[in-house]
Amino acid sequence: MGMSRQHLRNPSPEALESHESDQRKGVTPPPLEKPIEAGAKVIPLVPADKIALGAMPLVEAIRKRESRRQFSDEALTLEELSFLLWATQGIRRTHPRSGWAMMRTVPSGGCRHPFETYLWIRNVESVPRGLYRYGALEHRLVKVRAGHVEDESSLAAVCCGQQFVDTAAVTFIWAAIPYRTEWRYGPDSLKDILLSCGHICQNLYLACEAIGAGTCAIVSYNQDLLDKFVGVNGVDEISLYVAPVGKVPT
């Protein structure tokens, strides 16, 4: 069996029993999300309980769900972006043991939620172009860097020349911080991280359908270039999944 298939299998009971996780050792858990640097520009999002979107019946959203690669020039509103972020990585409540876990709108093994959401924003009302990170704890955007024309063309190149990426209003990029899961599960972490990423993107698909938008999940990209675009080192934080989003042409 090749090593790539081995990654699909759970570790043996012996391997799991012999591993003492950092959680069992009493090591302090890693932060629930990356800290916001002092002086960083932040943009508040529309609170989840104030969002008046997403009323489409779930059965209809499931029936309509498909990968969409054609987007109109219509901008997303800040409320629409707020809804998509809440639907994919929003926090419903924190664990009673503060600092240990939080319950989001998607499942994750042990509530570890190892992902950071980055957004290449091209056409969202009231939000300047650029790269942002979603600060889920306070439901706001954190500016990473300003956007430039060359960034747009390079993102398409990062995604192996898939030019429709350049026409999206916003492109979601999820990066994993593996240690958040490894802290608890050790050798059993890799599969859970990858499965959790799929849960997130499926919520994005359904939420997009509910607001007349669409997305297309992308795993065909140059790893080094995507890590560089997002600004992660590819070891402690690794970019995993790309999903351009835009309004569906009528």
**Is domain 39-247 classified as CATH 3.40.109.10?**
yes
Give the domain ranges of the chain: 39-247
The pair of three-digit structure tokens given for residue 45, joined into one six-digit string: 């999002």
pLDDT tens-digit map of 100-116:
667 899 999 888 999 99
Residues 184 and 116: their CA atoms lie apart, in Å, by: 18
pLDDT tens-digit map of 74-91:
999 999 999 999 999 999
* 8-state DSSP, 40: -
Check whether 152 has a pLDDT greater than 60.
no
Residue 132 CA neighbour count, 13 Å, CB half: 26
Confidence of residue 3 (pLDDT cuts 50, 70, 90): low
Check whether 11 has a pLDDT greater than 80.
no
Stretch 52-72: mean pLDDT: 95
> Residue with structure tokens 């090593």?
3
Check whether 121 has a pLDDT greater than 80.
yes
What pairs with residue 135 in β-bridges? 140
Stretch 173-200: mean pLDDT: 92
Cβ neighbour number for residue 82 with a 10 Å cutoff:
23
Check whether 187 has a pLDDT greater than 90.
no
Check whether 99 has a pLDDT greater than 80.
no
Check whether 165 has a pLDDT greater than 80.
yes
pLDDT confidence of residue 7: 74
Stretch 148-159: mean pLDDT: 75
Check whether 97 has a pLDDT greater than 80.
no
